Structure 1
């Protein structure tokens, strides 16, 4: 009988220790205004609930398996890496050079052909 009474007391104490449902209803409007505060009539207004209490309430809601919809949307991650422009340009130049080196035999053949054709035209012009 005593253990049943202790379980009842523990159950009510743990359920009522952090009544997040009541807090969520109470601060619903404040939480919807933002994480840190909001602008109203040209003046910055902090939230009616402190950041510590907001974080605790968020943790309780998430621990209970509910959704927390008051966090702002996260930005996309940066895809452009930081670094020096010189290094980036040098890498692009190396890639371009490697590509041109693959084409080099054909470029040389075209050059030799043009040079030979020019030489032939000059010889034809000299004989006429």
Structure 2
């Protein structure tokens, strides 16, 4: 008899220490549907548990050292810095100009070659007429 009383007392103390376990079990399906609500048959349904109660339950679970799997996954952080578009475009243009200037000798040789070939074709046509 004493063992039963001690067991029930321990159970009562454990439930009192972790009241969030009952709430978590009660709202488990609801929490899994989303943070704010969910779409059902084309209509938006808010959660049956308020955001304040949800946050309070989350805080209790995390303070107890348990895992809270119901948070939505976070998006990737933006690494692009803010600034004026004209400054960014000007920097890209300067970089492109530097790349093209490195290729400039080859481009000039190709241009001279094309010009020379065109001149030779014109001379061949003129020779063919006479």
Normalised TM-score (structure 2): 0.62
The residue number in structure 1 matching 2:88 is 88
Instruction: Give the whole-Å Cα distance in 2 for the aligned partners of 1:104 and 1:26.
Output: 73
The residue number in structure 2 matching 1:53 is 53
1:15-54: per-residue Cα shift (whole Å, max 9, x none)?
Answer: 6266011010000011001000111122111111110110
CA shift for structure 1 position 104: 7.2
The residue number in structure 1 matching 2:24 is 24
Instruction: Give the whole-Å Cα distance in 1 for the aligned partners of 2:18 and 2:83.
Output: 48
SS in 2 for 1:22: helix
How many residue pairs are counted as aligned between the two chains? 113
Instruction: Give the whole-Å Cα distance in 2 for the aligned partners of 1:82 and 1:44.
Output: 36
Instruction: Give the whole-Å Cα distance in 2 for the aligned partners of 1:45 and 1:28.
Output: 16
List gaps (5 residues or longer) in structure 1: 1-7, 109-128
Q: Which moved more, 1:56-65 or 1:89-98?
A: 89-98
1:78 has 2:113 as partner? no
SS in 2 for 1:38: strand
Normalised TM-score (structure 1): 0.62
The residue number in structure 2 matching 1:123 is none
Q: CA RMSD in A?
A: 3.7
Instruction: Give the whole-Å Cα distance in 1 for the aligned partners of 2:97 and 2:91.
Output: 10
